[in-house]
Structure 1
Amino acid sequence: MADSDDVETTTITISADDDTTDEVTVPTGLLDLVAEGDQTAAETVGDVTLLSLASRAHHIVHHGHEADEDLEAQEARIMDLFEERFGVTFGEATGHQH
């Protein structure tokens, strides 16, 4: 078994509209595994980020949490952004529809 310290990593820098930044380091092989076609590392992390936020928003609104109108609007907006980026609805992409 390979030592995890020997696994190549890629660091992605994230910049927000409020001039804050963060970095995330992930195994390069995982980026290659989940990339679609010739996607860059940044595009792959962008896709995973949007998918994760859409999934979490869906879970919060539809599975056991009381959602107010603002939260429902936030969930609707991330679903619109999801469809714009991927060309399919969240439900179509995940097979999880209500």
Structure 2
Amino acid sequence: MDLQAFRDSIAEPQPPAGLSPALQALWWDAKGDWAKAHECAQQRDDTAGMHVHAYLHRKEGDQSNAEYWYRRSNATPPASTLDEEWEELARRLLQQS
């Protein structure tokens, strides 16, 4: 799946089958369901999940919690906008899947 297909799928009621928990989190975030996105991001304690978890706390405005999760995922907090970070994460995770 490429980024455009992923974006198009957001119009559907459920995420496409086979998405990783981190991609499911980004999908639910794009649907406006932060709580469901957060739940998905916490499903696995892997680098991708931790990075998406950091993004979600940054979006929430909880900077100290976001910084904790960026450190855990070995990522630097971005200077980009939230939309740019979402796109970068989605693109990278889609390429890895």
Query: Same-fold call, TM > 0.5?
Result: no
**Greater RCO structure (CA 8 Å; 6+ sep):** 2
- Superposition TM-score, scaled by structure 1 size: 0.27
Indicate the structure with greater helix content: 2
- Superposition TM-score, scaled by structure 2 size: 0.27
Kindly name which structure, 1 or 2, has the bigger radius of gyration based on alpha carbons.
Answer: 1
